[in-house]
Structure 1
Amino acid sequence: MVNSTLTYFILDTYIHVGTLRYLYFMLTAMLYIVIVTVNLLLVVVICMNRSLHEPMYLFLCSLFVNELVGSSGLFPFLLVQILSDIHTVSAPLCFLQIFCLYTYAHVQFCNLAVISYDRYLAICCPLQYNTRMTCNKAVIFIAVLWFYSCVKVLITLSLSIRLTFCGNILNSLYCHNYRVVKLACSDTEVNNIYGLFGVVLTILVPLLPILFSYMRILRVCFSGSKQTRQKAVSTCTPHLTSLLNFSFGCCFEIIQSRFDMTGVPRALRIFLSLYFLIIQPLLNPIMFGLQMSKIRNTCKRILCYKMLTSR
C-alpha cells in the first residue's frame, strides 16, 4: 500500500502559459490521436491479415501495442496537467504511471533485441529461418519479454511504495521512480542496489543479442555479394534507426534525472524528457509500417476497398 502520510506529489517542471494552455492542449490531444490511430491501425492490419502472420510481423505487432501502452501512460495524464493550475498527482496514480512508462521502456528494448535476432536469422540463415523462427516461437519470445519486463518493474515499484517520504515535490513532467526514491527519508539502500542491478539488466540483456546479431550480419555483409549487402541494409535500417533513436531518448532522460540541469533552458529540458515517449511512437510506424512492402500494400488494399465500397 501507498504510505498513508503521503497522498499526492507535486510536479514543478510545468511552464504556466496562461490562455495558451488551450492551444497546447489541442496540439497534444491531436498528437495523441495520431499516435493511437496509426499504431492501432497497424496492429489491426497485422492481426486481421493471415498473410502477415509471420514472426517478423508478430514482433512488430508487439512493438506497436507497446507504443499504445507508453502513449496511454503519458498523454491522458499530460492533457489533464496542461489544463490544471495546480500540478498534482495522487500517489497511487503516480505509481501506476511509473509502471506503464517503465514497462514501455523495458519492453521496447527487449522487443528491439528480439527483432535484431530475427533479422540475423533471416539474413545469415535464410534456408533454416522457417524452422528456427516459427510463429509459435515468436509468440513465446513475445510472452517472455512482456512477462520479464512487467515483473522487473513490479519489483521496482514494490521497493518504492514501502518507503517513507519527507517531501512530495517532483522536478519532472511525469512520475519518475528515481525522483520519487530521492524524496524518501527512510533507508533506500535496497532501492539503490536493485536500481543499479536493474539498469544493468535492462541494458545488458537486450544488448547482448543485438551485438551478437549485428556482428554476424556485418560479417555476412563483408563476405557476401552486393545483393546480400543491399538486402541487409534495407532490412536492418528501420531497426537500427529505431534502436538508436530510442537509446538517445533514454540517455537524455537518464542524464536529466541524475545530473543538475538547471543551466539548461526549461523548454529544452521538457522536450528532452518527452523525446523517447513521443518521437518513438511516431517513428516506429513510419520506419516499420511504411517501409515494409507487405504492410504498405495491405494498407493500400484496405483503403482502396473502403473507398470503393463507400461509393
Structure 2
Amino acid sequence: MTRTIKGAEIARHIRARVAERVAETTATGRVPGLATILVGDDPASAVYVAAKRRAIREAGMRDVHRRLPHHATQTEVAAVIDELAAAPDVHGILLQLPLPAQLDAPPLIDRIPVTKDVDGLTTASAGRLARGERGLRPCTPSGVIELLDAEGIELKGACVAVVGWGELVGRPLAQLLLRRGATVTVAHEFTADLTAVTRPADVVVVATGVRGLIGPEHIKPGATVIDVGIHRTPEGLTGDVRAAELDGIAGRITPVPGGVGPMTIAMLLVNTLQAAEWEAERETVPA
C-alpha cells in the first residue's frame, strides 16, 4: 500500500508550534509582523493572500496589508515596499506574484531587505542559500524538506530527482537537498529521457506545472513522490503526478490538495517568526 503523506496535518503541527512561540515573544512586548502586498485584482492571488493573512492572524502575528490598483506604477509599488521596509513593527514583507504586466517584478522583489524577505526570493537571499549562509529560505522548498523530515526519510546518501528547475521551487530545493547530503539530479524541459532520471531515485519531487507528467513508468517501487504541482480541472484539483496510477507502486506520496500547499503557508509563518527573532538578536548586539 502507498502511504499518503498528510501535509495538512504536518502543517497544523508546525503552525501550532509557531503560535506558541509567538505567544512567548508577544509576552515580552514584541509581536512578529508580516506585511502582504497585493497589486491588481487577480482572483487567485486574492484568495492566496486572504489565506496567508488568515494564517498570520491565527498565529497571533500582526497582519499588515497593502492593496494597490491594477494600474499601479513601478514607482508606486516601490514606495510601498520602502515604507514597509522602514517600519519597525514589520518583520516580513511578501509581494504577491504574479504582478500586472506593466510591472517588472525582479527589481521590486530586490527592494525587500534580505532580513525581511520571508519568501526567500531576493537576489541576496539566493546568494545566502548558495553560500550556505544564514538566511530566510523559499517557503515551498523548505516545506518539502519539512515533509520529508516528518516522514523520517533519510536524505543523507539518498538519490533525489527534482523535476523542474524553476526559481521558486526546483533550483532552491536542489540546493537545500545537496546541503542535507542527498545526491541530486535536476530534470527540466530539455531532459532527453525523463524516466532515466527519475526511475533510479529514492525520492522524486515534481514541480513542473505540467499536469499528469509523472506516472508509474517514472517511479521505482517504494520511492517517495512529492507533488508540488496544482491544477484546476472540471473534476477538481490535481497535480503534476498521476497519483492514482502510482497506488501500490510509490512508497509514499503527497496528495493534491492537502500535501505541499499547506506547508508553504506554514513555512511562511516560520520565516516571519525567524525574521523577528533575528531582528531581536541584532538589537541586543552592542554597536
TM-score normalized by the length of structure 2: 0.31
* Structure with a larger share of its residues in strand: 2
| Higher gyration radius (CA) | 1
Whose helix fraction is larger, Structure 1's or Structure 2's?
1
TM-score (normalised: structure 1): 0.30
Larger RCO, structures 1/2 (Cα 8 Å, 6+ apart): 1
